[in-house]
Structure 1
Amino acid sequence: MTIAAHVFRRGAVYTWRRRIPRTCRQSTKTAYIQVSLMTREPELARRLAGILHGESVHLFDLMRSDRLTPEETRKWLEHVVREEIARIERRKLVELESSNLGNRAESKLLDDLAAQCFRLLAEHGKSATFDPQTDQILAEKEYSPETLHRAQEMMDLYKRDFQSVSRHAKTCAIARDVLGDKEISALRYVELRQLFMKGKVIAIEAVAQAANQDVAPAVAATRDEIVRARGPAFDLFSPSTLPASSEAPTSPQSACKPETRPQAPGQVEIPYDPDPKEICKRLVKNKEKEVDSKGLNQLVQVVDVFTEITGLADIRELRQHHLSLYVETLAQLPKAYRKSPADRKKPLSEILAEAAKLPPEKKGMATNTINRNLTFIGMLLQKASSEGHDLDSRLDITALRKRRTRRQRDERNPFTRDEIQALFESPLWTGCQGPSRRRVPGNRIIPDGRYWVPLICALSGARREEIAGMTTSDIKNVEGTWCFDIRPNKNRCVKNLQSERLVPIHSQLIELGLLEHRSRKKNDLFPELRPKSKSTRFGDQLDHTFRMVLQDRIRDRDRKTFHSLRHYVSDVLKNDPTIKTEYKDDILGHAGKGTGARCYGGRTELKNLVRTIEKLPRIAALEPQVGKTGKR
């Protein structure tokens, strides 16, 4: 009785032998694989047999006759070459806007090193090394010791990447689109990977020689070379090393011995795609319950622009000059960058070319925006590092942050008390001619989101999206007091943990009919403000109307926006000596100053919050509407 399948004793030691399936016979002249297990111990022999059985299944899959045809080889090579050329050209266009010539020289050197790495990997597979003593082409380049060290780091990175699960999945998905394959066998994948490396070399050399307009000859030559040298491409795979044994084999006769090459130290397979956009998707998924939708949308947009500017498809290739280039490019973009639908589909190079003709005051992102974007990039890098990706230890985002030119609280100006009264004298609240003529005086009052949301914000200090995205269940009676229960709901998140709060409803809002409005709605409090696309948020539709009303009613509009309503509430409560700071913070959803305020004590009693909210002045122009909600 055998101790395991395909195992028998040959003399004093155990031997493993398995027949090669007929579908694999075209890759070898023998019908069997036979390996001496070099041990007399049954338990060790059984364990080795299990390892060999698994490796043989993998090997047979490689040996099947499902190979790339010459036409498929050409199509795949052309795809890889065109994509790589497009990536390099995008990066070069962006670099034209950079005043730092060192960045361009650095990129050119990295391209050259990458081409050499890909060439060596395509020729030698996993045993490739960046060593001028063993490669004539490298010897002729005369790289400095520091450059050779960087190149070897790049080589190690590419090796890990090409053996990763994420790279396999991405390559197979792209190949299915390009070649129309439903399934990619292991052998076809190895060929695709080798062609991928050769295609990268063709593209980089074509761009360097300014010959990228006609790469067909190089593609055809590489295809012919591959077809002529058609043979098993097993060198990039490394079967598990068999446990060492001090016993010598007895008459080791094997028709085909699998290579037992030890795995290089530190080469751990990471199951996460290193593409910055894929990392961003995973980060967004992790943050969905913690961060509001506005912040998540901004994160995605920032990463999209970052990859467009830098041309990076692998976070492990990120270097400090990429970050510097990113910040420099933000300073060259128009202030209205891609805010219009027509601009969203324009390539970055075209937008930069148009921006070059603009006056300085219309170019460059605000300091706060640049710093916010860098914070998002830092979150991306932190996520990549937590997943095990090797990042350059020299990366430094802090050095690129811009210094503020004014205090944060001065970024927007608050409305004054008189301006608030003047603002709500607009026909939008006192009577207009209809839904499309809200700024023209008339006798119609339309109590929808455009009417209620600014009014609620002026009498609560809440953020626009907090109110615009409310559902009917977010208005609650707590201990006999009607309140806004501001918490994450199906429509939107809240900015942070301290933003979750109960805010008593101002008496004037109740008298104007807010509770009656709630009773008429089934789910969303303001369904007409529901976003029309994934790129917009609850409340975005208010922007244009509010800006026009602001233009009509307020003379001094310097740095005054919808958010100035919140600043107005903060100013009123802060300057009232009868209101404690803790009450104001609980109304506005602020963490409070000092460890004591943040970490100790409970929430302010509801009766104190009611007294605080009633300190906000009533809107005089709306007093005639009090008690007339049924006539609307």
Structure 2
Amino acid sequence: MASLEQDRITLDEARKYLQHVVRTHVTAEHDLRQDLRFRYGAPPCKIERQITSGMTEAWDILAEQGIGATISDQVEQELIAAGRSRAEVAMLRLILDGHYRPMLQGHIGADRRAAEFEKVTGRRINGDREAIQLLELFIEGKRAANAVVTTPPARALASDVMDRFDPVQGTFPQDAEQPESPRSPDPVAASAVTDVQPHDTPIVVQEILPDEPDSSDLDPSITAVIERMIQFKKHADDGLEEKTARQYRAFGTLLQRVTGKTDVRSLLQADFVKLRSVLLQLPKSFGKSPSDHTLPIESVLAKAEGLPKEKVGLAVGTVNRYVDHASALISAAKSEGFELHPRLDPGLLRRKEKGRARDKKRTFTREELETFFRHRYWSDPEPGPWLPPLAARRRSGLYWVPLIAAYSGLRREEIAGIGVDYVREEGGITYFDVITTTDRRIKNSSSRRKVPLHDDLIHLGLMEFVRDARKAGYVRLFPDLKEPASNIMGRRVGRKVEKFVKDIWGSEGTGLSLQSARHYVQHVLDLDKEVPAKVARDIMGHEGQDVHDSVYGDHSPLPALKAAIDRLPSLSGVLTLPR
């Protein structure tokens, strides 16, 4: 600890970070066990023991030998000679070499540890030495947490009950004292009906108070219910975007500010009616000023009264999103066993939106897209006061992301967060492999797909860019787009595109954005009679039109996807090709 303080990670910081590692350990290890059990395909009871033993030993090995430790053939023979089975050694190798070491060695893992350290301590890691110390703390924290044997709650309760059981008499201690009364169906009943033993000795039954909590082991606060809901959704099959998690938390904070209530059991339908009313009176800019988060709601509403009518009231879609969050909160609370008002149904407060969802965002026309790429950022080979040389621009994510969007229909986050190793080749076809990674999740299960590169992207030199990124040891293809203060991918390039649109069209460009390029690809594919609807859906990452399409349909083969992608109109005539 003294050496830690000398190297700037203080004792207090080390403790806070270790607490964070231990706190998050149980959930992460549970997910890994499920993953390994699914991949390995052995009987659960047998593989569970192998996984538990393998994880414990893997952390011991890493702590003792460092992150370069591996299960070589020699080590395997030594373990087998010591009595280990080949299956146990294979599991240990899978855990150590396939999961733990890649997580510890990569830049992504280091970035994540640094971000977690900053979150719990309030300061950033400073230099390589502190990064190494943080890695050591992480490994030792995992090792210590994994060494603790955790007992499932039901098993612990069963053990506690059996400790009280008298096998000779066949009774429990309360049989001779006072039996537990069945709970009254009426939560406000003053007491329960008493039973009488055969000897007519009355039993005194403990009074059930009206405010007895529904779930004694769970915190009933709105904030706590939302946090448990977020954790559950994060570990569901489709996961949960961090953006959505932040929206849930912001909703919970605003609900408590508006109603003055913190206990989910105290909520009434009138509270959500009040929340909706406040949302319709807030300034449209609510949330952008730091004071919006600290001023009393009454003060915010008073300021809104002095604003023009067009600047007051959140959009219908935003209001409905808050209503959906309210429904999710109530559903989560009910699933946890809390007794809520029987007529509580926030979903009834949704407002009908005018217009179709597809009409909310403008779609680039072919002519508009050509005009956009005639912007000097892509077309002018000469540098300017704010414009780097074209060669430098071609090494940036800002240059490539809009082009890839216009030639693939990929989402902004899917492009900006693509890893170098996820530009792949199969059967002579180069494609983007869109899957969930450690630093970027996909929107839903249909979003997992392969999208071939359009020939124009290859002619423009994208593959040379990819090869240079691999030689440089990059993890992400576009590391320049990473924002230290946010995990959101591509927000920087999104803002730049909006600026370029404004430069070109002024107010007439309202509604055009990077997302408009994705809509353009969708529009072109939908109208092309040579492109089957299923192939278009598989390129865009959309759900099938019915259960049969969604559940039973296989992914379209790469050649069919490539043929469809190459039918997108070429924009090369307006782009400056590399020399």
Q: How does 1:215-294 map to 2 (within 5 A)?
A: 245-247=197-199, 261=206, 269-289=215-235, 290=238, 291-294=240-243
SS at match of 1:459: helix
Kindly indicate whether residue 425 of structure 2 is the aligned counterpart of residue 474 of structure 1: no
Q: Does 1:337 align with 2:286?
A: yes
* 1:341–1:542 Cα change, 3 Å: farther
| 1:313 aligned residue (252, 262, 267) | 262
Q: CA deviation at 1:380?
A: 1.4
Q: Distance in 2 between matches of 1:471 and 1:42?
A: 62
Q: 1:51 to 1:501 in 2, by over 3 A?
A: farther
Match of 2:351 among 396, 402, 410: 402
Question: How far does residue 544 in structure 1 lie from its aligned partner after superposition?
Answer: 2.6
> CA 1:531/1:448 → structure 2, altered by over 3 Å: closer, same or farther?
same
Asked if the contact 1:507/1:614 (under 8 Å) is kept, the reply is: yes
Q: Pick the aligned partner of 1:364 from 300, 313, 334.
A: 313
Long gaps (5+) in structure 2: 1-165, 178-185
Q: Distance in 1 between matches of 2:199 and 2:385?
A: 92
Q: Which runs of 5+ in 1 are unaligned?
A: 1-40, 53-151, 160-237, 250-257
Cα distance in 2 for partners of 1:548, 1:367 equals 26
Write the distance in 2 (CA, Å) between the matches of 1:298 and 1:510: 39
Query: Structure 1 residue 533 and structure 2 residue 485: aligned?
Result: yes
How far off its partner does 1:479 sit? 2.6
The answer to which of 551-560 and 416-425 deviates more is 551-560
Residue 502 of structure 1: which of 450, 459, 483 is its match? 450
Q: Tell which deviates more after alignment, 414-423 or 485-494.
A: 485-494
Q: 1:269 to 1:297 in 2, by over 3 A?
A: closer
- CA–CA distance in structure 2, aligned partners of residues 49 and 588 of structure 1: 64
Residue 596 of structure 1: aligned partner:
548
CA distance in 2, matches of 1:406, 1:48: 67
Which residue of 232, 252, 261 maps to 1:303?
A: 252
- Distance in 1, matches of 2:414 and 2:271, equals 37
In 1, the alpha carbon distance for the partners of 2:360 and 2:199 equals 78
Paired amino acid for 1:497: S
SS of corresponding position for 2:457: helix
Which has the larger helix fraction?
Answer: 2
The C-alpha deviation readout for 1:546-596, integer Å capped at 9, x for no partner, is 111001123632322221111111111111121111111111011132333
Between structure 1 and structure 2, the one with the greater Rg is 1
Task: State the distance in 2 between where 1:566 and 1:261 align.
Answer: 65
1 CA distance for matches of 2:255 and 2:174? Answer: 50
Residue type at the aligned position of 1:261: Q
Aligned AA (1:384): A
1:578 and 2:505 aligned: no
Native 8 Å contact 1:421 1:620 kept in 2:
no
Asked if 1:349 is matched to 2:294, the reply is no
TM-score normalised to structure 2 length: 0.62
C-alpha separation between the residues in 2 aligned to 1:582 and 1:602?
10
**Matched residue of 1:624: which SS?**
coil
CA contact (8 A) 1:506 1:614 kept: yes
- The residue number in structure 1 matching 2:462 is 514
* Structure 1 residue 498: Cα displacement: 0.9
Hey, what does 2:431 align to over in structure 1? Answer: 483
Contact 2:214 2:339 in 1 (8 A): no
How far apart are 1:545 and its partner, in Å? 1.4
Maintained 8 Å contact 2:498/2:512: no
- How far does residue 610 in structure 1 lie from its aligned partner after superposition? 0.3
- Distance in 2 (CA, whole Å) between partners of 1:346 and 1:433 is 50
Question: Which string of whole-angstrom CA distances, capped at 9 and with x for unpartnered residues, describes residues 345-373 of structure 1?
Answer: 44433322222211111111111221122
User: 1:50 Cα deviation (Å)?
Assistant: 10
Which one-letter code corresponds to 2:326 in the other structure?
A: I
Is the CA contact 1:430–1:621 (under 8 Å) kept in the aligned structure 2? no
| Deviations 1:509-534, CA, capped at 9 Å, x for gaps | 22222223233252122222223325
Per the alignment, residue 620 of structure 1 pairs with 572
Aligned partners of 1:413 and 1:560 also within 8 Å: yes
Q: Which of 551, 559, 564 lines up with 1:607 in the alignment?
A: 559
The size of the alignment, in residue pairs, is 398
1:546 aligns with 2:497: yes
Structure 2 distance, partners of 1:51, 1:361, is: 73
Q: Secondary structure at the match of 1:531?
A: coil
Match of 2:441 among 487, 493, 497: 493
Letter in 1 for 2:505: I
Stretch moving more, 546-555 or 276-285? 546-555
1:48 to 157, 160, 173: 173
- Find the counterpart in structure 2 of residue 564 from structure 1: 516
Give 1:444 shift: 5.1
Secondary structure in structure 2 of the residue aligned to 1:403: coil
Partners in 2 of 1:42 and 1:243 — Cα distance?
A: 25
**1:394 aligned counterpart, secondary structure:** coil
| SS at 1:273 equivalent | coil
Q: 1:267 to 1:283 in 2, by over 3 A?
A: closer
Change (3 A) 1:539 1:340: farther
Percent identity, please: 30
Change (3 A) 1:384 1:436: farther
- Shift of the 244–471 alpha-carbon distance from structure 1 to 2, 3 Å rule, reads farther
Tell me the secondary structure at the aligned position of residue 432 of structure 2.
strand
Amino acid at match of 2:563: R
Tell me if the contact between 2:383 and 2:389 (Cα under 8 Å) persists in the aligned partners: no
Q: Which has the higher contact order (CA 8 A, sep 6+)?
A: 1
Q: Deviations over 1:247-297 (max 9, x none)?
A: 589xxxxxxxx9762657997543221111111111111112423333222
Using the TM superposition, give the Cα deviation of residue 501 of structure 1 relative to its aligned residue in structure 2, in angstroms.
Answer: 0.9
Q: 1:481 is matched by which residue type in structure 2?
A: I
Match of 1:325 in 2: 274
Match of 1:492, SS? Answer: coil
